[in-house]
Amino acid sequence: MAETIASLRSRYRDAARAKDIDPRDIDVLLADATGRSQSWLFAHGEEAIDPSSFDALAARRLRGEPLQYIRGRAEFFGREFYVDDRVLIPRPDTEHLVETAIARAPGGGRVLEVGTGSGCIAISLERDRPDLEVVSVDVSVAALAVAARNARRHKSHVRFAASDALDAIRGEFDLVVSNPPYIPAAEVETLAVEVRDHEPRGALTAGPRGTEVIERILEARRAPLVLLEIGFGQLGDVRRVARGYEVVDVVNDLAGIERVVVLSRHGRK
Ligand SMILES: C[S@@+](CC[C@H](N)C(=O)[O-])C[C@H]1O[C@@H](n2cnc3c(N)ncnc32)[C@H](O)[C@@H]1O
């Protein structure tokens, strides 16, 4: 049954507010469903539309599903990546890791990423530094399928492989980069419903300490330089498991939180 745009917006925006969901998400989805801009919808509130194509999208968002999964896309480092619930949604904080890798990777070097997800790190790095040979691994074959789709979209030459940490990968690299699952398992239950109930558990946590994958990357000792994204307050834990590596730099995110750790095997900057 037809309903005016104003009535539909107000009904769903109220429902969103009642669930602590940003009501602007409703406008984004309504624009997607109608093919109209948000400003057009706002200016034409008196027009009647058939809400049927929109109801299913809104219901998903009201159940807590992240907007990016519903829309099938997320922005990262100036590019659009396809995402669904097989992969973590790329976070703006992770752009610091890519910036650091772009600045630190030696010319013509070999780079290994551990934990591909959507492929956003490896593809962004390779597209901005085409001189690099980039290999990216994930234990999740489902995630690798999403990454391959994004690589095709962005004409990227990253080589993807299935591997549990570095187990299936041979040889030395100039740089290992990773945004690993770093949340201690017990903390996952405290996360927002969008994250806890919708993003892949294996992308969030690897065990009780939160540093399990980090430990495996450092134990493998495959590169003189390792760049890691870490969680709030995790720098001390990383120092404790660093073994033959030394922390030579830390990059803060825009909120001033220590976010990227640069580790050198020989203590070099
Ligand atoms: C935090 S997500 C990062 C995804 C993506 N690189 C990004 O920054 O958006 C961590 C990724 O590591 C993968 N992963 C978890 N444990 C792993 C392991 N033991 N070996 C390889 N990859 C692993 C997960 O499947 C997930 O895709």
- Closest ligand 1 atom to residue 165 Cα is 20
Task: Summarize pLDDT for 178-237 with one digit per residue, the tens.
Answer: 999 999 999 999 999 999 999 999 999 999 999 999 999 999 999 999 999 999 999 999
DSSP H or E segment with residue 24: helix 24-34
Distance between CA 258 and CA 260 in Å, rounded?
6
182 Cα: distance to centroid of ligand 1 (angstroms)? 9
- Ligand 1 pocket check for 25: Cβ under 6 Å: no
Of 120, 208, 207, nearest in space to 158 by CA: 120
In degrees and rounded to multiples of 5, residue 251 shows phi and psi of -110, 125
94 Cα: distance to centroid of ligand 1 (angstroms)? 13
**pLDDT attached to residue 51:** 87
Which residue type does 209 have?
A: R
Of 62, 88, 217, 182, nearest in space to 143 by CA: 88
What is the residue whose two structure tokens read 């490896």?
122
Of 144, 94, 104, 146, nearest in space to 124 by CA: 94
Nearest CA to ligand 1 atom 13: 115
Task: Summarize pLDDT for 138-194 with one digit per residue, the tens.
Answer: 999 999 999 999 999 999 999 999 999 999 999 999 999 999 999 999 999 999 999
Average the pLDDT over each of 94-98, 216-220, 242-246 and give the range with the smallest value: 242-246
